[in-house]
Amino acid sequence: MESGQAVSQMSSWLESGYGLFLVIHFVGVLCFGYIVWRRIVPLLRAECDPRWDRPLARVGKVAKYWFGQWKHPRYRTAGFLHLLIFTGFILLVIRSFSTLLVGVSHNVAPGISGTAGHVYDNITDYAATVVFICMLVAIVRRLAFPPSRYAVPARYGKAHTADAVFLLALIAVLMAADSLFSAAVAAGQVNSGLAGEGLAVLSLPWMLQAALASASLSILGKFCFGAYLVHEVTFYFLLCYRPFGIQFHVETSLFNVYFSKLERGTLKPVRWNISDEHLDQVKSFGVKTFEDFTWKHMLDFYSCADCGRCSDNCPANAVGRPLSPRFLSVKARDYAFQHYPMIGRMGNGKPLIGGLYSEDEIWSCTTCGACEEECPLLVEYIDKVVDLRRGMIDDGNVPQSLQKPLKALESRGNPYGKLEKKRADWANAKDFQQTCRVRTLDNNGASTLYFVDSITSYDERMQSIARSTARILESAHENFGILGAKEKDSGHEVRRFGEETLFMALRDHNVDAIRASGVKKLVTADPHAFNALNHDYKDVPPVEHISQLLAREVGAGTIKFNPVENADVYTYHDPCYLGRHNHIYDEPRQVLDAIPGLKRVEMQRSRDRSFCCGGGGLMLFYEPKEEQRMGVKRVRMAAEAGANVIVTACPFCMVNMEDAIKVAGLEGKMTAIDLTELVDRQMVWPGIKAMATSVVGG
C-alpha cells in the first residue's frame, strides 16, 4: 500500500493538470488541422500532376532519400548533424506521442511495455540527448560559423538566421522538457522506493535525475507538472509554427520525396492529361500565375529547407547571374503564405513574371541540373523554370536576342538561318572524303543513323567533331549514314526555352525522317541531341551517345590507340546532359584511360557535381547579365586541377571552353578537345574500306 500511496502522490500533478492538458491537446490539434488545411488549399487550386503511379519505385525513393538521407553527407558537417537529428526524431516519435498520451491517459508511463520498452526508453534517452546537443551545436554554428550558403543577398531580403535559431532553440527546449519530465518521473519512482528501470547512463535525463535525487515527492510532482506543460506547449507550438517557415519540411519531406520525379532528363508536358493533338485548345501555356504551378511544385516550395545547397552548386548563381534556385523556392513560398493567409481571402492571380520573378532570372538557367542533383528533398527546378518560360513565350515576352534564332529554327530548322541543303557540307571536306565517305540515308539499308544536330553540322569548328565521329563509326564497322538536309534541329533547347509548339514541329519532322530511314539505332555526339532523342522523342530506335559506343568498342578491342607521347595532363569535363541528366560518367573516362600514356586528373567538381560550361543551344544566343562567364570559372578549375587539356564530349561545351580559354588569358597554356577528336587523333586508323557503292553525302 505504501508504494500505492507514493504513486498516487506522484501522479497527483497529473490529476490537477488534467483539464489544462486536455485543453492544450485539443487546441493544438485543432490549430494544426486548420493550418494544414489552409496550406492545402492552394494545392487544390493548382494544376494537376499525376504522381500516384509506380508505388514501389516511390517507396524505393523514400527508403533511399528520406529514410536513408542519401544526399545529406554530400555536405559533411551539416549532413552529419542532420543525420543525427533525423535519426533522433525517428527514434523519438513513439516516445513523444506516448508522453503526449500521458496527459489524456492518467497513466504516467504509457508506451511500449516490458524489456523492449525499457530498451526503447534507454535508446531514446540517448536520442533526446543527442538531438539536444545537436541543437546547441547547430545554434552555435548558425550564429558563429555560418556557411556562406546561408547568407541572404540584400535583393532577397533579410537573413533567415533569427527564424532558424528560434526553431532550433524550440527543439532544444522540447528535448530538455522531455528529459526533465523523464528524470522527474524516474526520481519520483526511486524516492517512492519503486524499482525504477533506470535511465540511460550519462544521458541528459539521467543527469537531470541525479540532480533531482534529493528532491521531495511534492517538489518532483511540480517538476513533472512543469516539464510536462512545457513539453506539451512547445510540441504544439512547434507543430503549428513549422508550417510558417523553413521547418515545414519536417512534415512535408516524406510526401515530397514519395511524389518526387522518377525520370531524370525528362520535362513535364505543357499540361498533364492533355495529348499533343489537343494542345492547341489549351488557352494558356506554362506558368503565368502562382496557381499555374502543379500541386507538387507547390509542395516543393513548402518543403524547401532553405539549406542553400542548390544555389551553392548553381553555376548561374556562381557567376552572378540574377538567379538563385533557393530563392525561386523561398520567394514562391513567401508568396503562397502571403496570398493564402490563415485568415481572409485567398488567391491573387497576378502574373509572377515582373513581380515575384524577373525575366532575366528565369532566362538565366542553363537547365544543368546541379541544383536538383544536390537537393536532399528532391525539389524540382528545371520543370518550373521551363514552365515559367512557356508562359513568357506564350505572352510573346522573349528577349530579342532569342527571337531571331527561334524564327530561323521555324523556317530553316536550325538557329543560324543557314540553308537546309548545306547541313551535310561538313562531310564534303576534301581531306575528309579521302578517308571516310558519309552517305545520306534514304532507307538504303544502313542500320545506324548518326544524328549530327545543328551546331555540329553548321559551325565550322564543330564540324571537326562530326568528321571525327564519322571516322570512329567507320572504324567500329558501323553501317551508318546521316539524314543530311532532312535532319532538323533536335529541338532540345527549343523545348527547354519553353517553345513547345516549335519543338513539337521539329520533333515530328525528325521522327518521320528517322523512321523513314529504316535504321535500327541512333548515334550522336551531342549530349543535347542525345537527351532529346532519348527522353523527348517517342517511337524512335534506341539512341547511344558516341562515348557509350566507344567504351564498348574499346573494351572489345575493335578500336585501338597509339600512345600519347607528350607531357600533357588531361581532365574530363562532364557535360550536364551526358552526366547528370543521363548518368554517363564512366564511359568517357574508360575511353580516355584506354589511351596509353595519357595522364588524366579529376577536377574537384566532376561527375554529378560538374560545373556547367555556360549552356548550349539557344543559351549561346542569350545575353545574360553576369559578372563573369561560367566557362571562365570552369577552365580555371581545370588549371587548378593541374590539367592543360580539357576533354569534353559536347559541341556546346567546346564553344564555351574555347571562348573561355581566350577570355581567361590561358591561350597557349590550355586547350580543349572533344572526346571524338582525341580518339580520332589517337586511334589506329584502319584506312578507308571498299565503299564504292556508297553514295556521297551532300
Partner 1 sequence: VEILVCARRVPDTSENEIALNSAGTDIERDELVYSVNEPDNYAVEEALQIVAKAGGNVTVVTVGDDEDEEILRREMAMGANHGVLLSDPGFTGSDGRGIASILKAFIAKGNYDLILTGVQAEDGAAQVGGMLAAMLDCPFASLVNSIEVLDGKKLKISREIEGGNKEVSEIDLPCVLSIQTGINEPRYVGMRGIRAVASLPVPTYGASDLGVDPSIVGGARAKVKRVDYFVPALGKGAEMLSGTREENIDRLVELVAAKGGLK
Which residues sit at the interface with partner 1, rule CB under 8 A? 280, 285, 393-398, 400, 402-404, 406-408, 410-412, 417, 419, 421, 499-502, 505
Least Cβ distance, residue 142 to partner 1 (angstroms): 45
Helix, strand or coil, per DSSP, at residue 179 = helix
Cα→Cα distances 146→151, 394, 581, 629, Å: 8, 42, 31, 28
Nearer to partner 1, 439 or 488 (CB): 488
Between residues 216 and 403, which has the closer beta carbon with respect to partner 1?
Answer: 403
Tell me the β-bridge partners of 523. Answer: 450, 544
CB nearer partner 1, residue 196 or residue 399: 399
* E strand residue ranges, 321-459: 448-450
> Taking a C-beta distance cutoff of 8 angstroms, is the pair 259, 51 a contact?
yes
Q: Judging by DSSP bridges, how do beta strands 599-601 and 645-648 pair with one another?
A: unpaired
Question: Least CB distance from residue 267 to partner 1, whole Å?
Answer: 17
Least Å from the CB of residue 91 to partner 1: 54
Distance CA 549, CA 553 (A): 6
Between residues 251 and 508, which has the closer beta carbon with respect to partner 1? 508
Query: Which is closer to partner 1, CB of 370 or CB of 485?
Result: 485
C-alpha–C-alpha distance, residues 458 and 483, integer Å: 14
- Closest contact distance (angstroms) between CB of 508 and partner 1 is 12
Whether the CB-CB separation of 228 and 17 falls below 8 Å is answered with: yes
Least separation in angstroms between CB 408 and partner 1: 5
Q: Which of residues 45 and 412 has its CB atom nearest to partner 1 in the complex?
A: 412
Least gap, CB of 584 to partner 1 (angstroms)? 32
Beta carbon nearer to partner 1, 113 or 400: 400
Amino acid at 101: L
In the structure grid, which three cell numbers stand for residue 530, read together? Answer: 542525345
Contact 298, 51 (CB under 8 A): no
Give the C-alpha separation, 438 to 426, whole Å.
10
**How many C-beta atoms lie closer than 10 Å to residue 269's C-beta?**
13
Tell me, what DSSP letter sits at residue 683? B
Indicate the residue type of 463: Q
* Gap between the Cα atoms of 422 and 463, Å rounded: 12
Give min distance, CB of 411 to partner 1, in A.
4
- Nearest distance in Å: CB 394, partner 1: 7
Query: Which of 395/568 has CB closer to partner 1?
Result: 395
Residue closer to partner 1, measured from CB, 53 or 280? 280
* DSSP codes joined into one string, 138-192: HHHHHHHS--GGG---GGG-S-SHHHHHHHHHHHHHHHHHHHHHHHHHHHHHHHT
Tell me the closest approach of the beta carbon of residue 511 to partner 1, in angstroms.
Answer: 17
CA distances from 360 to 354, 441, 498, 621, 657 (A): 10, 42, 14, 14, 23
Q: How far is the CB of 332 from partner 1 (least distance, A)?
A: 25
> In terms of CB distance, is 394 or 478 closer to partner 1?
394
Q: Specify the residue, 7 or 408, whose C-beta has the smaller distance to partner 1.
A: 408
Cβ atoms 353, 362 nearer than 8 A: yes
* DSSP E strand boundaries for 517-655: 521-524, 543-545, 569-572, 599-601, 645-648
Shortest Å distance, C-beta 509 to partner 1: 12
DSSP per residue, 367-393: ---HHHHH-TT----HHHHHHHHHHHH
Closest of 480, 476, 455 to residue 465, by C-alpha: 455
Q: Tell me the C-alpha distance between 78 and 71, whole Å.
A: 11
Residue 420 or 568 with smaller CB distance to partner 1? 420
Q: How far apart are CA 330 and CA 311, in angstroms?
A: 12
Q: How far is the CB of 404 from partner 1 (least distance, A)?
A: 6
Torsional sign, CA 343, 344, 347, 350: negative
Query: Residue 82: what residue type?
Result: H
Please name the residues in contact with 600: beta carbons below 8 A apart, sequence gap of 6 or more: 569, 570, 571, 572, 589, 592, 593
CB-nearer residue toward partner 1: 280 or 627: 280
Question: In the bound complex, what is the minimum distance in angstroms from residue 279's beta carbon to partner 1?
Answer: 8
Least distance in Å: CB of 619 to partner 1?
17
Which of 397/433 has CB closer to partner 1?
397
Q: Which three cell numbers stand for residue 120?
A: 526503447
CB 618 within 8 A of CB 494: yes
Q: How far is the CB of 400 from partner 1 (least distance, A)?
A: 6
Helices 295-303 and 249-258: angle between axes, nearest 10 degrees: 140
| Between 202 and 419, CB nearer to partner 1 | 419
CB of 424 to partner 1, least distance (A): 16
Among residues 148 and 411, whose Cβ is nearest to partner 1?
411
The runs of H, that is alpha helices, within 436-475 are 454-458, 463-475
Contacts of 105 (CB under 8 A, 6+ apart): none
Q: Which three cell numbers stand for residue 138?
A: 547547430
CA distances from 2 to 7, 8, 196, 423 (A): 9, 10, 16, 98
